[in-house]
Chain A
Amino acid sequence: MQHHTLSCCGGVRPSLPPPPLSFRWSKIKREGGRRLPRCARIAAQLELKPPPYSLSSLEPHMSRETLEYHWGRHHRAHVASLNNLIAGTDLDGMGLDEIVVVSYNKGNPLPLFVHAAQVWNHDFFWQSIKPGGGGRPSGRLMELIERDFGSFDRMLEEFKRAALTQFGSGWAWLVYKANRLDVGNAVNPCPSEKGNKLVVLKSPNAVNPIVWDYSPLLAIDVWEHAYYLDYENRRADYVSIFLEKLVSWEVVSDRLDVAIERAAERAREDETRRQEDDAAVTHSEAVEMYLDSDTDDSEAE
């Protein structure tokens, strides 16, 4: 039986080169995610990864009771549901990032999306915080925060505002944005690291910015179950304490490094591909596209 460990080890795992989604999706649609015969089932079970600290170590900011329910019940249930829904289908054996993107289905999500994304989100969330967290970031992360938001405090304000205006259930994020257009031959004509930046976003329910091709750096869960036992309706207090006492800026910084490296690599790939395309055009024989014709169609009769 295969085991796939989850990818969140304090950093965003650079995802695989974009899968041929159209191919894979049409395959899934044809097969409808149907189960393979029992003997052929691959049970690639995703695991419930524990937080890198004990369940009581975030007290008093996030209680042991909250962790027991949030991680021990909610997160655990999503892992179980996901494993159940992908067993024996084409998604079985894929990495979690890929399962999330594929099941998002460009905005028309499959039923299993909520489970895949919530597994991803919660792994990411537990890694984003630590006992004795808070404080201020430094180094490149702080430089980019100051460059893109004006100041650390301004970034915090924007993050808080996103968290407090995400109506209903959802998440608020700090992400690194280095998107390309979602078109096969789209290449940024003026690639520059300066076009990449830090952005604050919010998303509803289980939606996760990797489906929009962002690199998440930090997340806060604003589903009510994340804070109700400790803060009741006072989401604002929860968000403030999260930022002041829990965030692990080291982890955020590591994720930023990975994201920047990934963006640089993609830019290099794009550049190589563009050069190859240019070379191909120059060396190929010119094909006569527009043939002369004696008939003059443009004249009205």
Chain B
Amino acid sequence: MALRALFTKTAPTLASGLGPFASAGGSGTRWQGLCHARGLKVAALPDLEYDYGALEPAISGEIMRLHHQKHHKAYVSNYNDALEKLDAAMAKGDVPAVVRLQSAIKFNGGGHINHTIFWKNLKPVNEGGGEPPHATLGWAIDTDFGSLEALVQKMNAEGAALQGSGWVWLALDKERKKLLVEATANQDPLVTKGANLVPLLGIDVWEHAYYLQYKNVKPEYLKNIWSVMNWKYASEVYDSEIA
């Protein structure tokens, strides 16, 4: 499954590890020309599977539009920019430049990874958003957290307590076959907390994810986002990893 490429243990390599994030088309013809010459796969902004306004009232259309068209797009552009520079630096053997570019790769690549997952783990209510998980994932949640309510409460508590910018995750430890709740800072992807961790659901708690609608009342955003949570996506990922 293409999604597996997301969850490799090693850091994404330039060659082919970018999976569904990569696109030969890139985000503009400039990228296409230059990077095809070097065989470099650049990132592309994925489309949402629903309209910007389709997640209301949980998340406003205005936020969805800015979040996708400005924030995520900026991560994609900046990542591609850093990637091109990294490629040049590696080709030249410019080690200081290679090292210096790592933070831009991490910030922007992480931003791209995280938001790509995020759009998939949200769904309009009339398309199944908010419907609780059943079967394997449902049972696993009951086993590892006691109940769905307990899980939601835990994630919301972690999200509320997170100071600054970051993400809260429902993660699967695929080695131990256990679910856990994790938080990451800034745009650190979940794998930075453990190579065996697979993201099932992520909640963006950067202020840009909720501020225009909820202002400083982050707990309200956390409470409402569950009504558009795409448990079906989480179940699919879970089942494919557990199998």
Contacts and interface: CB of A to CB of B under 8 A. Distances in A.
A209 B163 CA distance: 18
A223 to B, nearest CB: 7
A232 B207 CA distance: 11
A94 interface: no
A228 B215 CA distance: 10
A73 interface: yes
Interface string A156-197: 000000000001111000000000000000000000000000
B24 interface: no
Interface in A196-246: 204-206, 223-225, 228-229, 232-233
Given A168-B185, A168-B186, A233-B74, A225 B163 contact: no
B164 to A, nearest CB: 4
B211 A229 contact: yes
A208 to B, nearest CB: 14
Among A204, A225, A232, chain B packs the most CB atoms within 10 A around the CB of A232
B216 A228 contact: no
A262 interface: no
Contacts, number: 52
14 contacts: A73-B215, A77-B216, A114-B163, A167-B107, A168-B164, A168-B165, A204-B164, A206-B164, A223-B164, A224-B207, A225-B211, A225-B216, A232-B70, A233-B74
B170 to A, nearest CB: 22
A233 B215 contact: no
Interface in B28-74: 66, 70-71, 74
Interface residues of A, number: 19
B15 to A, nearest CB: 27
A73 B211 CA distance: 13
A224 B166 CA distance: 12
A206 B216 CA distance: 16
A167 B206 contact: no
Nearest to B73: A233
Interface of A: 69, 73-74, 77, 114, 167-170, 204-206, 223-225, 228-229, 232-233
Contact of B66 (A167, A170, A232): A232
B207 A167 contact: no
A68 to B, nearest CB: 9
Contact of A225 (B71, B107, B207): B207
Contacts of B211: 224-225, 228-229
B95 interface: no
10 nearest interchain CB pairs?
A: A224-B207, A205-B164, A168-B165, A169-B164, A168-B186, A233-B70, A73-B216, A228-B211, A114-B163, A169-B165
A221 to B, nearest CB: 12
Contacts of B208: 224, 228, 233
B131 to A, nearest CB: 31
Contact of B71 (A69, A169, A206, A233): A233
Contacts of A223: 164, 207
Contacts of A167: 103, 107, 186-187
Contacts of B216: 69, 73-74, 77, 225
Interface string B197-208: 000000000111
Contacts of A206: 163-164
Interface string B15-27: 0000000000000
B212 interface: yes
A228 B62 CA distance: 12
B79 to A, nearest CB: 13
B100 to A, nearest CB: 12
Nearest to B216: A73
Contacts of A204: 164
Given A167-B186, A169-B165, A223-B164, 9 more contacts: A167-B103, A167-B187, A168-B166, A169-B164, A170-B164, A224-B165, A225-B207, A229-B211, A229-B212
